Amino acid sequence: MTPLPPDAAAKLAKVCGLLGSDHDGERSAAAHQATRILRSHGLTWADVIAPARPAAPPRSTTYGAPHVAAATAALRHVERLTAWEATFLRDISRRSRLSPKQAARLAQIVAKLRMAGAA
């Protein structure tokens, strides 16, 4: 995700301030304008408003396992993961070994993050 340029972020903040208006039309226009600002920069609301980061996964007792390192590194970009992917990564980081299917899914997640420029 490309961050919103400072001037656009300032404009978005100003427009979002109007979302608390007592006038229905003003709120509606502000919501429409805010969405237009995001779309003009190739962003969605999900790109701008990220959920809180979950607690770090517990340390694994299997030190040095490549899948543990990969899962831990991927979890540093939890804002780019689906809830299922984050849960999957936390689960496999506690395992001593992976099935071929789990290893393939881990590789897909890592590739997704690399394509997004996160890893």
pLDDT at 107: 93
Please report the pLDDT score of residue 31 as a whole number.
95
pLDDT at residue 66, as a whole number: 86
* Helices marked H in 1-119: 6-17, 24-40, 45-48, 66-75, 83-92, 100-115
8 A C-beta contact, residue 75 and residue 93: yes
Residue whose token pair is 């543990």: 68
Per-residue pLDDT tens digits for 38-89: 999 998 888 888 777 776 665 544 445 789 989 999 999 989 999 999 999 9
Position 9, amino acid: A
0.75 exceeded by pTM:
no
Specify the pLDDT at position 50: 75
R_g over Cα of the chain: 19
- Of 94 and 61, the structure prediction assigns the larger pLDDT to 94
